[in-house]
Structure 1
Amino acid sequence: MTAAPAAAVLGRARGMRDLVRSQAGDSERLRTLSPAIVDQMWASGLMSAFNPVPAGGVEPSFTEMIETWIEMAWQDGSFGWVGIANLPSSFAAACYLPDDGFAEVFTAHDNRVTMGGQFFPNGQGIATDGGYRLSGSWSFGSGTGHSQFVAAGFLPMDDGEIRWVSDGVPDMQVAVLPREEVTFTDGWYVQGLKGTGSYDYRVDDVFVPAGRTFPLFCRTPRRGASPATRMGLMPVTAAGHAAWALGVAKSMLDDVGALAATKFRMSDMASLASRPTFQKGLAHHTAAWRAARLLVLDAFTTAEAAVDSGADLTPMLRADLRVAAVYATDTARQCAEWAHLVAGTDAIREGSRLERAFRDIYTGTQHAFISEKVAIDAAQIWLGIIEDQPGL
């Protein structure tokens, strides 16, 4: 499979606009991304584009990743969410798996590997010869509806005791499991992001070789040369959440702008576009959206440049990344709320882009990764109250 040039990654996503629009309703009914969209993600090279080069990717910059995710989420919230689930999952596994695990997962499948799942350590892995006996249950395994491999975070156990990497910090690992070893309990009946196939799942005493595990907070790549590979999964995930929220909010701002010239509210002879209150609201929320996007790009490119120069990804830089993601999410939610309100009844028509995007934004922004606790942890680093928070 020939990888797309890095500069073309955004173009590959843009090339899917017509297909994604036509298939969005099907994805919601199926409760997982439609096969036609998944097939085109592979045909375009988008599905593996964020991977390190040995895994069929092109190692795009953070700017390229963020703009691609914004585009995907602008097209459809579920499509964008799968982009921030499948692409970082395979990126991390391809970067950090030991050589034998990489050969088993990626090389043996000609790098055609779709991966999703839940990385939080909700499982326990009893250490045994050559690996772990893994048991656990995970919720909201985004993108698992069409994934051949499933990621599952776990805590290694040695002689019945949790393994620790430092004082107060447990060892957190990620297992990569073939789909057939996972029991899906589903549970994906939700308000928004219906088309993401974010199923609950469990495993019971499944052997996982050590070669198919890697540390959750690893920043030492076995493959790949881009700064992102040396920054780890947390920054890539943070960039994804920020970009996703911005993309969905932009779709609502754009759709309201297009609607405004022909939108008349009952008993009002003036179009929505001619009302000064709408004009002021559009100016304010568009400016807020642009400011949030620039903050995200600034935070991530600053950290990327520091790592590229050989500097460490310090707790302060990581705090900056996570605050930018939280701020962008909060701003996007506010933009979406305004757009929904001014669109009136057009925003409540079932199946419309506005209606679906509103449900999606209020589902995706419930994620713990961009919660207020994240902002508080970051602020405590800025204030010198704590030295670090490994989860940032």
Structure 2
Amino acid sequence: MTSLAAGPIAGIARGMRDLVRAESGECERLRTLTPAVVEKMWATGLMQLLNPVEAGGLEPSLSEMIETWIEMAWQDGSFGWIGIANLPSSFAAAAYLPDGGFAEVFTAHDNRVTMGGQFFPNGQGTAVQGGFRLSGSWSFGSGIGHAQYVAAGFLPMDDGEMRWISEGVPDMQVAVLPRGEVTFNDGWHVQGLKGTGSYDYSVEDVFVPVDRTFPLFTRAPLRGSSPATRMGMMPVTAAGHASWALGVAKSMLDDVQELAATKYRMSDMASLASRPTFQKGLAHHVAAWRAARLLVLDAFTTAEAAVAAGEDLTPTLRADMRVAAVYATDVARQCAEWAHLAAGTTAIREGTRFERAFRDIYTGTQHAFISEKVAIDAAQIWLGLIEDQFGL
């Protein structure tokens, strides 16, 4: 199959393989990453990789990040999910926070800032002098089990009324909260992605200075020079979701291919590898996986190149990226299902990478960010039925 982690950026993640394999079971037991994995992410530079240079990052291209995220998810679904949760969260805060907030969150901590959370505006922030009084509750705050700052999306309120950017488009902001100001309501007892520390959380009437907030859909960076900073959170998040699904599916395809030489089904004298039906299935699903990966790379690098050349990130380019992410997720799920069936009882052994990956893929692909509504919105743009959908 297509090789993983061929470049120097993705190679940073490749150096985590042995530790992640050794710690994956303990991460599941703790329901968040172990300290050993988090520390290694910092030691290798992986945790801050996506950040603007001013926040200690390398500002990799989206294609480099896609390969990095695929590599991380190939190692372990929870580890990969942390890659698409913690890294984009700190990337966004570092790029878009006002100078005062950047100094408080990043500079004051020598850029060693782990951040996670939920960006959807499930909170309300009453506007007061110098900031907001924030209240709300958020579910599935990915990566907050080991994060020192928590992101929380909210709707600004002026005298009890929502702010509007334009007709039908409310103002949506993101608050960056120190861990100590957040109440964690640990409901993270789930089928898969157990090691991600994706707790529910809430705040009640917490003051957030305006310098620790930024617009959810901004594409106007205050720091960083990579095209990704001028593309905004939605494309970066979409690239992460596509890559994650591809990585987990690839782990299952690789594992079933390795298993095939020694796997004999009951009452079958031929190995799995020698069965024509398995050979046909493997060829089909590996080809489908490769095609989905190439679609993702094409959609995201095309948009990235346009932005790098000073062009607008058009609704069509945004739709193309989001559809690529949805399609890659669908293909990945199909590949995982086939690999699981082909592996037979080997796939159901509790605690194996195969079994864990299957649980993870069917948990991660439930995310609303890659739902069928996204594909429908994108198709309506292609058809000219709508000019834009601000959430893409």
Q: CA RMSD in A?
A: 0.8
Secondary structure at the residue paired with 2:261?
Answer: helix
**Are residue 379 (structure 1) and residue 376 (structure 2) matched?**
no
Q: Which residue number corresponds to residue 62 of structure 1?
A: 62
Q: Counterpart of 1:137 in structure 2: which amino acid? A: S
Q: CA deviation at 1:47?
A: 0.2
Identical columns (%) = 83
Q: Counterpart of 1:347 in structure 2: which amino acid? A: A
**Are residue 341 (structure 1) and residue 341 (structure 2) matched?**
yes
Partners of 1:251 and 1:315 lie apart in 2 by 33
* Residue-by-residue CA offset, 1:259-299 (whole Å, 9 max, x unaligned): 00000000000000000000000000000000000000000
Secondary structure at the residue paired with 1:310?
Answer: coil
Q: Which residue number corresponds to residue 142 of structure 2?
A: 142
Partners of 1:39 and 1:135 lie apart in 2 by 32
Q: Which residue number corresponds to residue 124 of structure 2?
A: 124
Q: Counterpart of 2:53 in structure 1: which amino acid? A: V
Q: Which residue number corresponds to residue 206 of structure 1?
A: 206
Q: Which residue number corresponds to residue 107 of structure 1?
A: 107
Where do residues 143-222 of structure 1 align in structure 2 (5 Å cutoff)?
143-222=143-222
Partners of 1:173 and 1:315 lie apart in 2 by 21
Partners of 1:351 and 1:63 lie apart in 2 by 32
Q: Which residue number corresponds to residue 3 of structure 1?
A: none
Partners of 1:113 and 1:304 lie apart in 2 by 26
* Residue-by-residue CA offset, 1:54-77 (whole Å, 9 max, x unaligned): 000010001100000000000000
Q: CA deviation at 1:326?
A: 0.1
Q: Which residue number corresponds to residue 256 of structure 1?
A: 256
Secondary structure at the residue paired with 2:122?
Answer: strand
Q: CA deviation at 1:12?
A: 1.1
Where do residues 225-240 of structure 1 align in structure 2 (5 Å cutoff)?
225-240=225-240
Partners of 1:320 and 1:301 lie apart in 2 by 11
Secondary structure at the residue paired with 1:220?
Answer: coil
Q: Which residue number corresponds to residue 97 of structure 2?
A: 97
Where do residues 358-377 of structure 1 align in structure 2 (5 Å cutoff)?
358-377=358-377
* Residue-by-residue CA offset, 1:66-99 (whole Å, 9 max, x unaligned): 0000000000000000000000000000000000
Paired positions, count: 387
Partners of 1:138 and 1:206 lie apart in 2 by 15
Q: Which residue number corresponds to residue 46 of structure 2?
A: 46
Q: Which residue number corresponds to residue 390 of structure 1?
A: 390
Q: Which residue number corresponds to residue 303 of structure 1?
A: 303
Q: CA deviation at 1:11?
A: 1.1
Secondary structure at the residue paired with 1:118?
Answer: strand
Q: Counterpart of 2:235 in structure 1: which amino acid? A: P
Secondary structure at the residue paired with 2:85?
Answer: helix
Partners of 2:272 and 2:201 lie apart in 1 by 47
Partners of 1:121 and 1:229 lie apart in 2 by 21
Q: Which residue number corresponds to residue 351 of structure 2?
A: 351
* Residue-by-residue CA offset, 1:126-172 (whole Å, 9 max, x unaligned): 00000000000000000000000000000000010000000000000
Partners of 2:293 and 2:336 lie apart in 1 by 15
Partners of 2:257 and 2:36 lie apart in 1 by 30
Partners of 2:332 and 2:275 lie apart in 1 by 23
Q: Counterpart of 1:234 in structure 2: which amino acid? A: M
Structure 1 outlier segments of 4+, above 4 Å: none
Q: Counterpart of 2:234 in structure 1: which amino acid? A: M
Q: Counterpart of 2:198 in structure 1: which amino acid? A: S
Q: Counterpart of 2:165 in structure 1: which amino acid? A: V
Partners of 1:323 and 1:241 lie apart in 2 by 12
Of 9-18 and 280-289, the range deviating more from structure 2:
9-18
Partners of 1:303 and 1:341 lie apart in 2 by 37
Q: Which residue number corresponds to residue 293 of structure 1?
A: 293
Name the TM-score, length of structure 1 as normaliser: 0.98
* Residue-by-residue CA offset, 1:294-342 (whole Å, 9 max, x unaligned): 0000000000000000000000000000000000000000000000000
Partners of 1:260 and 1:208 lie apart in 2 by 56
Q: Which residue number corresponds to residue 4 of structure 2?
A: none
Q: Which residue number corresponds to residue 269 of structure 2?
A: 269
Partners of 1:11 and 1:354 lie apart in 2 by 23
Partners of 1:209 and 1:8 lie apart in 2 by 39
Q: CA deviation at 1:8?
A: 2.9
* Residue-by-residue CA offset, 1:188-210 (whole Å, 9 max, x unaligned): 00000000000000000000000
Q: Counterpart of 2:47 in structure 1: which amino acid? A: M
Partners of 1:335 and 1:171 lie apart in 2 by 39
Secondary structure at the residue paired with 1:188?
Answer: coil
Partners of 2:8 and 2:74 lie apart in 1 by 18
Secondary structure at the residue paired with 1:384?
Answer: coil
Q: Which residue number corresponds to residue 4 of structure 1?
A: none
Partners of 2:113 and 2:158 lie apart in 1 by 31
Partners of 1:386 and 1:33 lie apart in 2 by 42
Q: CA deviation at 1:9?
A: 2.4
Partners of 1:8 and 1:38 lie apart in 2 by 20
Q: Counterpart of 2:40 in structure 1: which amino acid? A: Q
Q: CA deviation at 1:118?
A: 0.1
Q: CA deviation at 1:213?
A: 0.1
* Residue-by-residue CA offset, 1:102-139 (whole Å, 9 max, x unaligned): 00000000000000000000000000000000000000
Partners of 1:200 and 1:320 lie apart in 2 by 32
Secondary structure at the residue paired with 1:262?
Answer: coil
Q: Counterpart of 2:299 in structure 1: which amino acid? A: A
